[in-house]
């Protein structure tokens, strides 16, 4: 499959280390395939520990210079990178759809969202203020500075191939850190295109490095090498736990954005049409392959039947197809394993008494396409009520009281995003306070923005990305006590 780009040079097939584009013939290349039809869209090196070690050395050498640049300079370079991303938004979206499958409109939206993190942290670079503290001693002064943590590593998932990278790299570079990025094997081309634009924006050699290849080997080097002072990971909770344990011997700083199981609660007093619109936006975004997707829809009995009927009509109208085709709203799942998981969860639910209200089967397009689905009469003992689906399936559970809804919502080991619809202001405050999650959408199904802190509690991870907090993940404080005055 030949990608037609306005700027063909954005399609890269080499790793980016120390400002150089390099081959790595130590193992057969990784073929990048389009999930819609399986065509090969590119190939990247299957690099391992040696290349990763060289990237760490390059990042360490570059750190000395980059950390000493002014915040003003770093802000200007990041701003240029942001501008170049927007100038090449169509090409970056085409690359993303080709390797990840999401509809072009969604891919273009992600590029704008990803760029907004760079814009935000270009500004935040200049606001890493310190403190002058009133001294308890007459002859001493107390200063507190904030400094970059040093060489960082980022390991990112396939579902948002650009945004998950920029919301790590932007604060890292803004703080004065240098970084090595390992993108997902399924979606390396977006990462390499971002690196090509960063290079053009004036990011110096070694400040940003992108390594593609064997996850376990690259991860082993990134987590064990003492030069790396921080790891930022976005992905499954299982791998997050593993990487955290691998970082323990060298006590690295950690940011972990992990799995989710978002409750989406609709109370009797909700605007049902607004709730249906919010459920569509939250649940079926990226064909349900989103960590903050509504994963369990809890609907109060008074409006349950009306909500299920309206949602089912809207879901049946969603257009499924190749993400490159105009007006397609639902692309394929990323691979056969993702499809098998959806089928397994649905079979379990129906086998325990759930009812398919819309969709429920593989799409007639075949491959990894799946019908957008609504499954009703879901109960807590079904796997679909407890596991992250990562597919276009909305499980609906009935509830009677507010307390029951909160108990169900909080029963999950995850606590990333949550949503609820209510027009009762007292209930809004009660439920928002009671829900155990890092993020709460109230009368809305879309909450992600660079200006707000993104992250979870419980088994959904630790740390925050975006907002004024995001740069803190890449800085530490230094207390200076000046005596003899
Ligand atoms: N919280 C968030 O912001 C967020 C965002 C996106 C995805 N996710 C979660 O990620 C999961 C889906 O993404 P995924 O399938 O890419 O997750 P994943 O954990 O399988 O992979 C994520 C990244 O980790 C790498 N990886 C896997 N095993 C590794 C190892 N042993 N050593 C080093 N690296 C390794 C992969 O190559 C990939 O780059 C879902 O659970 C989803 O909820 C969370
Ligand atoms: O999949 C997880 C992403 O973080 C989703 S979002 O684009 O940040 O909402």
Q: Which two tokens stand for residue 304?
A: 């349950």
The protein residue with its alpha carbon nearest to ligand 1, atom 3, reads 257
The protein residue with its alpha carbon nearest to ligand 2, atom 6, reads 448
Q: What percent of the chain has pLDDT over 70?
A: 100
User: Is 119 found in the same domain as 97?
Assistant: yes
Q: Nearest bound ligand to CA 287? A: 2
User: Is 426 found in the same domain as 347?
Assistant: yes
The protein residue with its alpha carbon nearest to ligand 1, atom 17, reads 235
User: Is 327 found in the same domain as 362?
Assistant: yes
User: Is 383 found in the same domain as 249?
Assistant: no
Per-residue DSSP letters for 94-132? HHHHHHH---HHHHHHHHHHHHHHHHHHHHHGGG---EE
How far, in Å, from the CA of 167 to the mean position of ligand 2? 10
Closest C-alpha to 404, from 268, 295, 300, 304:
300
| Main-chain phi, psi angles of 121, to 5 degrees | -80, -15
Q: How many domains is the chain partitioned into structurally? A: 2
pLDDT reading at 338 higher than 80: yes
| Main-chain phi, psi angles of 303, to 5 degrees | -120, 10
Instruction: Tell whether 1 is covered by a domain.
Output: no
The per-residue pLDDT for range 427-450, each reduced to its tens digit, is 999 999 999 999 999 999 999 999
pLDDT band of residue 276 (cuts 50, 70, 90) is very high
Q: Cβ(140)–Cβ(199) under 8 Å?
A: no
Instruction: Tell whether 451 is covered by a domain.
Output: no
pLDDT reading at 1 higher than 80: no
User: Is 160 found in the same domain as 37?
Assistant: yes
pLDDT reading at 422 higher than 90: yes
Instruction: Give the C-alpha distances (Å, rounded to integers) separating 270 from 150, 300, 304.
Output: 48, 10, 11
Q: What is the pLDDT of residue 2?
A: 78
pLDDT band of residue 263 (cuts 50, 70, 90) is very high
Residues with C-beta less than 6 Å from any ligand 2 atom: 159-160, 163, 290-292, 448, 454
User: Is 392 found in the same domain as 253?
Assistant: no
User: Is 277 found in the same domain as 228?
Assistant: no
CATH number at residue 215: 3.40.605.10
User: Is 155 found in the same domain as 202?
Assistant: yes
| pTM, two decimal places | 0.98
pLDDT reading at 272 higher than 90: yes
Q: Kindly state the average pLDDT of the residues 327-355.
A: 98
Q: Kindly state the average pLDDT of the residues 372-379.
A: 98
Instruction: Tell whether 381 is covered by a domain.
Output: yes
The protein residue with its alpha carbon nearest to ligand 2, atom 8, reads 448
Q: What percent of the chain has pLDDT over 90?
A: 99
Of ligand 2's listed atoms, the one at least distance from the Cα of 159 is 1
Q: What is the pLDDT of residue 283?
A: 98
pLDDT reading at 308 higher than 90: yes
Tell me which of 99, 106, 217, 257 is the catalytic residue. 257
Instruction: Give the C-alpha distances (Å, rounded to integers) separating 6 from 13, 21, 227, 367.
Output: 17, 21, 39, 30
Instruction: Tell whether 294 is covered by a domain.
Output: yes
User: Is 420 found in the same domain as 336?
Assistant: yes
Phi/psi region, residue 251 (left: phi>0; alpha: psi -120 to 50; beta: rest), is left
Of ligand 2's listed atoms, the one at least distance from the Cα of 289 is 1
How far, in Å, from the CA of 234 to the mean position of ligand 1? 6
Arithmetic mean of pLDDT over the chain? 98
Instruction: Tell whether 391 is covered by a domain.
Output: yes
User: Is 234 found in the same domain as 366?
Assistant: no
CATH number at residue 350: 3.40.309.10
User: Is 176 found in the same domain as 309?
Assistant: no
Cα–Cα distance for residue pair 36/365, rounded to 1 Å: 9
pLDDT reading at 309 higher than 90: yes
Helix locations, 186-303, DSSP H: 188-201, 215-224, 237-247, 272-283
Among 188, 221, 236, 252, the mutation site with the greatest number of ligand 1 atoms within 8 A of its Cβ is 236
User: Is 131 found in the same domain as 25?
Assistant: yes
Q: What is the pLDDT of residue 287?
A: 98
Q: Is 257 part of the annotated catalytic residue set? A: yes
Closest C-alpha to 463, from 267, 306, 230:
230
Q: What is the pLDDT of residue 310?
A: 98
How far, in Å, from the CA of 100 to the mean position of ligand 1? 14
Strand partners, 300: 399
Q: Kindly state the average pLDDT of the residues 237-241.
A: 98
Closest C-alpha to 365, from 32, 31, 35:
35
Cα–Cα distance for residue pair 104/366, rounded to 1 Å: 20
Phi/psi region, residue 367 (left: phi>0; alpha: psi -120 to 50; beta: rest), is left
Instruction: Tell whether 447 is covered by a domain.
Output: no
Q: Nearest bound ligand to CA 262? A: 1
Place of tokens 């170049």: 84
Q: Which uninterrupted H or E stretch holds 339?
A: helix 336-351
Q: Nearest bound ligand to CA 243? A: 1
Instruction: Tell whether 452 is covered by a domain.
Output: no
Q: Kindly state the average pLDDT of the residues 107-123.
A: 99
Cα–Cα distance for residue pair 177/268, rounded to 1 Å: 50
Per-residue DSSP letters for 160-189? STTHHHHHHHHHHHHHT-EEEEE--TT-HH
Q: Kindly state the average pLDDT of the residues 236-244.
A: 98
The per-residue pLDDT for range 37-92, each reduced to its tens digit, is 999 999 999 999 999 999 999 999 999 999 999 999 999 999 999 999 999 999 99
Cα–Cα distance for residue pair 32/235, rounded to 1 Å: 19
The per-residue pLDDT for range 169-209, each reduced to its tens digit, is 999 999 999 999 999 999 999 999 999 999 999 999 999 99
Instruction: Tell whether 340 is covered by a domain.
Output: yes
Residues 6+ apart with CB under 8 A from 126: 71, 72, 75
Which residue segment(s) compose the domain that 177 sits in?
8-258+460-480
């Amino acid at each position: 499959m030949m990608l037609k780009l306005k700027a063909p040079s954005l399609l890269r097939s080499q790793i980016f280390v120390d400002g150089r584009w390099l081959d790595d013939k130590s193992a057969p290349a990784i073929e990048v395939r389009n999930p819609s039809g399986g065509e090969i869209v590119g190939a990247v090196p299957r690099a391992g520990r040696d290349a990763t070690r060289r990237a760490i050395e390059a990042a360490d050498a570059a750190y000395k210079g980059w950390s000493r640049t002014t915040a003003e300079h770093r802000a200007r370079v990041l701003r240029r990178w942001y501008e170049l991303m927007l100038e090449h938004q169509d090409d970056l979206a085409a690359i993303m759809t080709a390797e990840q499958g999401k509809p072009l409109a969604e891919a273009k939206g992600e590029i704008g969202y990803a760029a907004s993190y760079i814009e935000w942290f270009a500004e935040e670079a200049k606001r890493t203020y310190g403190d002058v503290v009133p001294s308890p001693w007459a002859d001493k002064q107390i200063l507190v500075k904030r400094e970059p943590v040093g060489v960082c590593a980022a390991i990112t998932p396939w579902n948002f191939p650009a945004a998950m990278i920029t919301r790590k790299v932007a604060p890292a570079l803004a703080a004065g850190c240098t970084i090595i990025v390992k993108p997902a094997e399924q979606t390396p081309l977006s990462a390499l295109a971002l690196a090509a634009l960063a290079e053009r924006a004036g990011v110096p050699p070694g400040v940003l490095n992108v390594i593609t290849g064997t996850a376990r080997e690259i991860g082993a080097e990134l987590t064990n090498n003492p030069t790396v002072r921080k790891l930022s990971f976005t992905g499954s909770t299982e791998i997050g736990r593993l990487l955290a344990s691998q970082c323990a011997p060298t006590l690295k700083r950690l940011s972990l954005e992990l799995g989710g199981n978002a409750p989406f609660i609709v109370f009797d007093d909700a605007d049902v049409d607004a709730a249906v619109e919010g459920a569509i936006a939250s649940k079926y975004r990226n064909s349900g392959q989103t960590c903050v997707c509504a994963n369990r829809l809890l609907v109060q009995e008074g409006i349950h039947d009306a909500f299920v009927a309206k949602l089912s009509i809207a879901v049946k109208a969603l257009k499924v197809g190749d993400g490159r085709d105009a007006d397609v709203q639902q692309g394929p799942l990323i691979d056969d394993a993702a499809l098998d998981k959806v089928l397994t969860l649905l079979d379990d639910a129906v086998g325990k008494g759930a009812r398919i209200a819309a969709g429920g089967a593989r799409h007639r397009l075949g491959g990894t396409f799946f019908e957008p689905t609504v499954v009703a009469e879901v109960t807590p003992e079904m796997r679909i009520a407890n596991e992250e689906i990562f597919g276009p399936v909305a499980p609906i559970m009935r509830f009677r009281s507010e307390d029951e809804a909160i108990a169900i919502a909080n029963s999950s080991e995850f606590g990333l995003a949550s949503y609820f619809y209510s027009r009762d202001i007292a209930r809004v405050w009660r439920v928002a306070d009671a829900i155990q999650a890092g993020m709460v959408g109230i009368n809305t199904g879309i909450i992600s923005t660079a200006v707000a802190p993104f992250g979870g509690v419980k088994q959904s991870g630790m740390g925050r990305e975006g907002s004024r907090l995001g740069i803190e993940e890449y800085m530490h404080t230094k207390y200076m006590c000046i005596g003899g005055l």
